[in-house]
Structure 1
Amino acid sequence: ENPEKWSPQIEGAKIISPTDYFANPEYQESKTYKVINLCKSHQYQSLGYYVSLLAGARSHKVIPEIATLQDFRFPSLIKDDAEEWDDLIHNSLKEVQDNKVIIHILFGQVENPKYARLGNLLFNLYQVPVIQASFAKKEKWQLTNLKPVHVQELANGSKKALEEALQFYVAGKRVVRKKYERKKYDLAILMSPEDATPPSNPRAIQKFIAAGEKYGFNIEVITKNDFGKLVQFDALFIRETTNVNHYTYRFAKKAEAEGLVVIDDANSILKCTNKVYLHELLTSNKIAVPKSFILRKDAQQLPEDFKFPVVIKQPDGSFSKGVKKVANEQELKDTLKELFQKSELLIAQQFIPTSYDWRVGVINNQVLYVCRYFMAQNHWQIVDWKKNGQHREGKSETIAASDAPKALIDTALKATSLIGTSLYGVDIKEIDGKFYVIEVNDNPNIDSGVEDKVLKNKLYHKIMESFTEKLQKK
């Protein structure tokens, strides 16, 4: 409400009043603004409430959003969420001597570094500039209250800390990358250090970064702990194994809601990670697939014309996991008992033995690469997973798209056109010159030294070019 009381030296930001935001045509006509709502109150029908409400109507990225403010009206929901963080709360507060503690979280930052992970988590989940979290210890530490607060409610000296946190939040990575010139766009690459089979190896990630900088992107590699930073970016590139029941899907949904261009987008994750959906999509559009049948938990009998061996697939398996080959009735019975614990539906597919599978990489309805992935030694799949969690992969061979069979390319493009214009990898088997789609992956491998063998750095440029085209259309 009083811009003159704030430091004017926040690089990259204007400090304005609610009145200016409501009435100035500049803020009414453009959708490109990111709004940080620091009004004194966010209560229903207050000035702060209307700033967030109108920001949403104007398609501006805003914190806090109206939906977030509504969450604070139902404290029981927040406390229910907190039960999922018991270990983090305990580990953060285990050395506290008192039975109560209050933590102020300023744009995800806290004064005591021991509470840093806890503060970061709360800001990621409840994106409000200043949050007050109260904890009490009975048998164990529990979150007792969580509320948004204004700077006037903070102790003396916190105003400077808030301005520093605000500066860091607005500047983002530019705080630590001052030697780089300001680029046109900000791109986040989501990765996980724990991902045992990431879709891109470290060398490929470096090549994505180099290509992105040539196309006018500032690029930052982020992890699952950076959910609250999504509002700072223009685009998100997910380079870890995706699933609907996983934070990668939540990242995609949140980024899209904030207006970011996302690869892989939430719709593609939803469609591609479920083999039951893919089976119906492909067959209903007359795309050849291996002979398949959907098994229900209450109807586990295979059709009489199915001959062993048969492949049984868990709907959301990835990297050859959740896929079993059965050679007889007893193996089928044991496998169904195991996999039906995780899903009400399974896919049964006639086994088609081949020495390799084709994969066609596609982005924006254009072929990106064509590979042959050979089966792992003495195994029927490309990846041979061991009981100890280790795995062994077969050889690979990348060829120019122009040298690939036309029917292969046509099949791949037809399959991906049913899903979207994102980045896909289509797995295809070839039998007697006919091509059968095994699955469409929303998060295909792009490893340096494999998929980029033909196009080399141009492959990474094509992906960044796709991001640029999508951003220019927004």
Structure 2
Amino acid sequence: MRKIVVVDYPKDWDVAIEDVEVVDVQTYLTDTAYTDIKNARIFNLCRSYRYQSAGYYVSLLAEARGHKPIPSVATMQDLKSPTIVRAITVELNELIQKTLGSLRSKSFTLSIYFGQNVAKKYEKLCKHLHDLFQAPLLRAQFVYKDEWVLQSISAIPINDVPEHHWRYLLRYAKSYFARHRFSGAKIGRNKIYDLAILVDPDEKEPPSNKKALQHFVEAGEGMGFYVEMITKDDYRRLPEFDALFIRETTSVNHHTYKFARKAYADGLVVIDDPISILRCTNKVYLAELLTKAKVPIPKTMIIHKDNRELVEQELGIPCVLKKPDSSFSQGVVKAKDSAGLQRELDEMLVDSELIIGQEFTPTDFDWRIGIMDKQPLYACKYYMAKGHWQIYNWNGKKKNDTEGDHETVPFEEVPFVVLHTAIKAANLIGNGLYGVDIKEIDGKAYVIEVNDNPSIDAGCEDQILKKELYTAILKSIKKRIDDNKNVRTDEY
């Protein structure tokens, strides 16, 4: 993959770096030789990213051509909005206070060159800001108002870098290009797609076990993918890839959502996309969505402080209470009596204004229908954990008591009503990869939840399709990448 630095004038970057090509803005915008390049990373070092400036069009047309611009147009827009800057950087507040706490001035300017600063003590803060706003040269303005506040962050025009900083800038640039896999040196000639799989090596119950992850790698490599496992520390590397496949448990207030959001904004194919994460991880949203679409669910009520006294009357005892962002049976409790109901409500309503209450509907197993691209992918029966009312029993004393058995079932043995209801529910969310949990009672199917990050474990969900299951998922990702490139070409 070609690495191309675009500048307004050749004199702005009169430096030779191995495998890095430098072109002026007019050539990149108008020369058909650059229009026809299939794979390229574009490092936009134009003096201005102002709307409809030449620098703006470099990134805009790079995206239209299927190239990967840094910064992206989305990043350019983010930099212009103080509200977005404050919202995105709120999680850095502790680091900002710790890093700038010893300063005695009321304002401070931090120059960030390819993620670094000339002073070592600002290295960590520079790295995090560069991760959030991926542009080669950045200037962060801080002011002190009871505490340090990031007032603005903007791109530094290349001709505005102080002369005495240039030796540092060039060192950081060489390190940046050498460290990042922009050249595709690891890929090999037969690899035309870059796929990142986001995992947490320390997660106790990940969506895919190690063997399944290896199957994904093998399937991807056989289809022309360079596949790499990344972790939460690789946020800044997302522009290196064509697609992101999240294989750790997702949540909105979590780095998984930040990864999905960033990848989606930068034009990567993302499974799970941020919209699906938002929709699936909130049980209040799901209850409202499914009810409105007339998809059968157990008798349900959205509980708040003003109607909590009606729960027992509406749902009976026992009943099930769910935190809005519960997953894998965590944050889901059964209220066995009136006193227990009130205790659980007291606790849950402290954390959330709204929670979900459902009628208790015991079954020996739950159906899980895996769906991708609005089509069924696999069907499983998940049996309840030993002596428990849920699939998972996180209080089980023995390992074998924690999780119930499973059985993968051919589609021809799945009741039509179960399959039909699952597809209808998943299609309300989108066209990604979903797992729909269903209880079958007296010939009727009731949706319990739609998961945006369903389990794909070797030895469970793959029992029918075997390695074809992994291939099917990656074929969908490959098609999405190709479709994205075709759309950009057509628009251009």
Q: Which runs of 5+ in 2 are unaligned?
A: 1-7, 485-492
What is the aligned partner in structure 1 of residue 346 from structure 2?
337
What is the aligned partner in structure 2 of residue 326 from structure 1?
335
Q: 1:196 to 1:116 in 2, by over 3 A?
A: farther
Q: 1:351 to 1:217 in 2, by over 3 A?
A: same
Q: Are the counterparts in 2 of residues 182 and 218 from structure 1 also a CA contact under 8 Å?
A: no
Q: Are the counterparts in 2 of residues 120 and 225 from structure 1 also a CA contact under 8 Å?
A: no
Instruction: Pick from 128, 135, 139 the counterpart of residue 121 of structure 1.
Output: 128
Q: Is 1:190 aligned with 2:198? A: yes
Q: 1:453 to 1:14 in 2, by over 3 A?
A: same
State the 1:217 CA deviation: 0.9
What is the aligned partner in structure 1 of residue 490 from structure 2?
none
State the 1:402 CA deviation: 3.4
Distance 1:420 1:71 in 2: 26
What is the aligned partner in structure 1 of residue 243 from structure 2?
235
Instruction: Pick from 446, 449, 452 the counterpart of residue 442 of structure 1.
Output: 452
Which deviations, in whole Å up to 9, do the C-alpha atoms of 1:70-122 show, x marking residues without a partner?
Answer: 6656779868876743554577789x999999876443356787765433212
State the 1:172 CA deviation: 3.5
What is the aligned partner in structure 2 of residue 383 from structure 1?
392
**Matching residue's letter, 2:454:** P
What is the aligned partner in structure 2 of residue 107 from structure 1?
114
Instruction: Pick from 416, 419, 425 the counterpart of residue 415 of structure 1.
Output: 425
Q: Is 1:315 aligned with 2:315? A: no
Q: Are the counterparts in 2 of residues 109 and 165 from structure 1 also a CA contact under 8 Å?
A: no
Distance 1:413 1:129 in 2: 44
What is the aligned partner in structure 1 of residue 3 from structure 2?
none
Moved more, 453-462 or 102-111: 102-111
Distance 1:57 1:226 in 2: 26
Which deviations, in whole Å up to 9, do the C-alpha atoms of 1:184-210 show, x marking residues without a partner?
Answer: 111111123454432112222122111
Q: Are the counterparts in 1 of residues 281 and 325 from structure 2 also a CA contact under 8 Å?
A: yes
Q: Are the counterparts in 2 of residues 370 and 399 from structure 1 also a CA contact under 8 Å?
A: yes
**Matching residue's letter, 1:422:** G
Q: Is 1:306 aligned with 2:315? A: yes
What is the aligned partner in structure 1 of residue 441 from structure 2?
431
Q: 1:195 to 1:104 in 2, by over 3 A?
A: farther
Q: Is 1:219 aligned with 2:227? A: yes
State the 1:422 CA deviation: 0.9
Q: 1:207 to 1:337 in 2, by over 3 A?
A: same
What is the aligned partner in structure 2 of residue 461 from structure 1?
471
Q: Is 1:350 aligned with 2:359? A: yes
**Matching residue's letter, 2:268:** L
Q: 1:74 to 1:424 in 2, by over 3 A?
A: closer
Q: 1:196 to 1:107 in 2, by over 3 A?
A: farther
Q: Which runs of 5+ in 1 are unaligned?
A: none
State the 1:434 CA deviation: 2.6
Give 1:89-104 correspondences, 5 Å limit.
none
**Matching residue's letter, 1:39:** C
SS of aligned partner of 1:341: helix
Which deviations, in whole Å up to 9, do the C-alpha atoms of 1:184-242 show, x marking residues without a partner?
Answer: 11111112345443211222212211111111111122223333322222111111112
**Matching residue's letter, 1:426:** V
Instruction: Pick from 1, 21, 28 the counterpart of residue 21 of structure 1.
Output: 28
What is the aligned partner in structure 2 of residue 263 from structure 1?
271
Note the aligned Cα RMSD (angstroms).
3.8
What is the aligned partner in structure 2 of residue 36 from structure 1?
43
**Matching residue's letter, 2:467:** N
Which deviations, in whole Å up to 9, do the C-alpha atoms of 1:255-306 show, x marking residues without a partner?
Answer: 2222211111222212211222222332333322212222233222137453
Q: Are the counterparts in 2 of residues 173 and 220 from structure 1 also a CA contact under 8 Å?
A: no
What is the aligned partner in structure 1 of residue 378 from structure 2?
369
What is the aligned partner in structure 1 of residue 489 from structure 2?
none
Moved more, 312-321 or 128-137: 128-137
Q: 1:114 to 1:304 in 2, by over 3 A?
A: same
SS of aligned partner of 2:388: coil
State the 1:318 CA deviation: 0.8
What is the aligned partner in structure 2 of residue 280 from structure 1?
288
Distance 2:268 2:218 in 1: 21
Instruction: Pick from 246, 259, 266 the counterpart of residue 251 of structure 1.
Output: 259
SS of aligned partner of 2:316: coil
- TM-score, normalising length from structure 1? 0.84
Q: Are the counterparts in 2 of residues 199 and 446 from structure 1 also a CA contact under 8 Å?
A: yes
Give 1:121-160 correspondences, 5 Å limit.
121-131=128-138, 148-149=155-156, 150=158, 152-153=161-162, 155-158=165-168, 160=170
Moved more, 48-57 or 419-428: 48-57
- TM-score, normalising length from structure 2? 0.81
Give 1:155-174 correspondences, 5 Å limit.
155-158=165-168, 160-168=170-178, 171-172=181-182, 174=184
Which deviations, in whole Å up to 9, do the C-alpha atoms of 1:43-67 show, x marking residues without a partner?
Answer: 6786545545665787864323456
SS of aligned partner of 1:108: coil
Distance 1:31 1:336 in 2: 57
Distance 2:344 2:36 in 1: 59
Q: Are the counterparts in 2 of residues 356 and 375 from structure 1 also a CA contact under 8 Å?
A: yes
Q: 1:111 to 1:188 in 2, by over 3 A?
A: farther
SS of aligned partner of 1:271: helix
State the 1:462 CA deviation: 0.9
State the 1:411 CA deviation: 2.3
Q: Are the counterparts in 1 of residues 38 and 66 from structure 2 also a CA contact under 8 Å?
A: yes
State the 1:326 CA deviation: 0.9
Q: 1:242 to 1:77 in 2, by over 3 A?
A: closer
Distance 1:341 1:124 in 2: 34
Matched residue count: 469
Distance 1:136 1:279 in 2: 44
Moved more, 61-70 or 259-268: 61-70
SS of aligned partner of 1:369: strand
